[in-house]
């Protein structure tokens, strides 16, 4: 089965994760893809295939070359809930440049001026949506590429390789993909997540990340008699937010620059809640960002009364570079594979995180590879067929015994 055919089969399934649910998986709909992958792995002939009680799928191809390392390949099955995840109506088109009309009836257009990545795809085939949902290339493109690689290896026993360990995770998009990953049972010496963008990119630097939850306890009274009595929790929450650096937000940062991102707010006069994600590549700057939030909360509690502001900070993951740089041969293997496939590798910092970041701190060094998917987490998401095909070739070179 060609990689694009597999991809279209997978994106037809809604696998949106749900941050509000504490269970794993966070949404029952992820089970459908997990079962499909388990059954496909069994049909292809992978060994030790298992789907565990938490919706993690594992399997392997035994080594046929003595002394070769055991290499893991990992992708996640869930999709983000930022935009609708179904019903997805993918469309294959041959792109010759310019704007892409996704939905003429609703005037939804992916403009080349807004998405410069399109420039590199003139003359290539793209899979797009109808502009009403995401596509799911993040990360079903990675899933499809790994499965296509497995089919090739099993159909070509003359290809020499070490043990190939395959894992598919739930709930990566809500930061829980590595929570219950069986690192020991997985059995890899090192691994790669296949969960990036351009096919020529490799990523092994990511943000240090934390979540912040601010509860503001106010006092409600009729506004007509509120003088010197009311403490409007909404306004107090906005005061906290205004004391954060105005330009350290996603809209004003790029590259290695960190940020505070207010991604949820609700409230009334009596109580308000604000949620943030805090990010920085530099660990010291990351710690200072958290300390700043704590100092602001302390200051405002002195101003308005003890326990008015209740701040909870929770670290999510750290910069995998700290661990990956201890295994430079893992990066070299990927760089050599990219070059062998005619690509010019680009090492880029991730302005986010992947399962690989947390797995690297769980003892499984795990940098991230591209997939050929672009504009993830939105209605303008698309995948380049030729780049997906290139990634299958790159994976062949990575797992091949050398």
Active site members:
78, 172
Question: CB neighbours of 190 closer than 8 A, spacing ≥ 6?
Answer: 69, 71, 72, 327, 330, 364, 365, 366
Write out the chain in H/E/C secondary structure.
CCHHHHHHHHHCCCCECCCCCCCCCCCCCHHHHHHHHHHHHHHHCCEEEEECCCCCEEEEECCCCCCCCCEEEEEECCECCCCCCCCCCCEEEEECCCCEEEECCCCEEECCCCCHHHHHHCCEEEEECCCCCCCCHHHHHHHHHHHHHHHHHHHCCCCCECCEEEEEECCHHHCCCCCCCCHHHHCCCEEEEECCCCCCEEEEEECEEEEEEEEEECECCCHHHCCCCCECHHHHHHHHHHCCCCCCCHHHCCCCCCEEEEEEEEECCCEEEEEEEEEECCHHHHHHHHHHHHHHHHHHHHHHCCCCEEEEEEEEECCCHHHHCCCHHHHHHHHHHHHHCCCCCEEEEECCCCHHHHHHHCCCCCCEECCCEECCCCCCCEEEHHHHHHHHHHHHHHHECC
Cα gap 289→365, rounded to integer Å: 27
């Amino acid at each position: 089965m060609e990689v694009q055919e597999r991809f279209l089969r997978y994106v037809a399934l809604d696998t949106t994760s749900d941050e509000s649910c504490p269970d794993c998986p966070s949404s029952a709909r992820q089970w459908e893809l997990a079962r499909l992958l388990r059954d496909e792995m069994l049909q292809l002939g992978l060994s030790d295939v298992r789907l565990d009680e938490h919706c993690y799928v594992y399997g392997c191809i035994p080594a046929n070359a003595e002394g070769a390392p055991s290499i893991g390949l990992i992708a996640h099955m869930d999709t983000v809930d930022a935009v609708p995840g179904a019903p997805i109506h993918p469309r294959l088109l041959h792109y010759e440049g310019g704007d892409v009309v996704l939905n003429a009836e609703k005037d939804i257009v992916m403009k080349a001026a807004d998405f410069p990545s399109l420039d590199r795809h003139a003359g290539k085939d793209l899979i797009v949506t109808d502009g009403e949902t995401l596509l799911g290339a993040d990360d079903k493109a990675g899933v499809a590429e790994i499965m296509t690689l497995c089919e090739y290896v099993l159909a070509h026993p003359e290809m020499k390789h070490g043990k190939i360990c395959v894992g598919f995770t739930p709930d990566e998009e809500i930061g829980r993909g590595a929570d219950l990953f069986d690192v020991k049972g997985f059995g890899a010496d090192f691994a790669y997540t296949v969960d990036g963008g351009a096919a020529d990119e490799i990523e092994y630097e990511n943000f240090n990340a934390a979540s912040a939850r601010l509860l503001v306890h106010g006092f409600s009274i009729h506004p007509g008699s509120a003088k010197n009595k009311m403490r409007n929790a909404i306004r107090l929450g906005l005061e906290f937010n205004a004391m954060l650096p105005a330009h350290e937000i996603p809209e004003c940062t790029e590259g290695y620059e960190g940020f505070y991102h207010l991604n949820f707010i609700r409230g009334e006069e009596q109580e308000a809640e604000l949620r943030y994600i805090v990010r920085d590549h530099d660990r010291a700057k990351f710690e200072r960002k958290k300390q700043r939030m704590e100092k602001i909360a302390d200051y405002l509690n002195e101003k308005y009364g003890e326990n008015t502001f209740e701040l909870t900070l929770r670290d999510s993951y750290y910069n995998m570079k700290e661990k990956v740089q201890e295994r430079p041969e893992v990066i070299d293997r990927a760089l050599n594979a990219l070059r062998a496939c005619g690509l010019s590798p680009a090492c880029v910092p991730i302005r986010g995180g992947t399962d690989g970041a947390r797995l690297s701190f769980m003892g499984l060094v795990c940098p991230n590879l591209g997939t050929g998917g672009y504009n993830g987490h939105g209605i303008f998401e698309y995948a380049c067929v030729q780049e997906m095909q290139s990634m299958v070739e790159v994976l062949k070179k990575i797992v091949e015994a050398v």
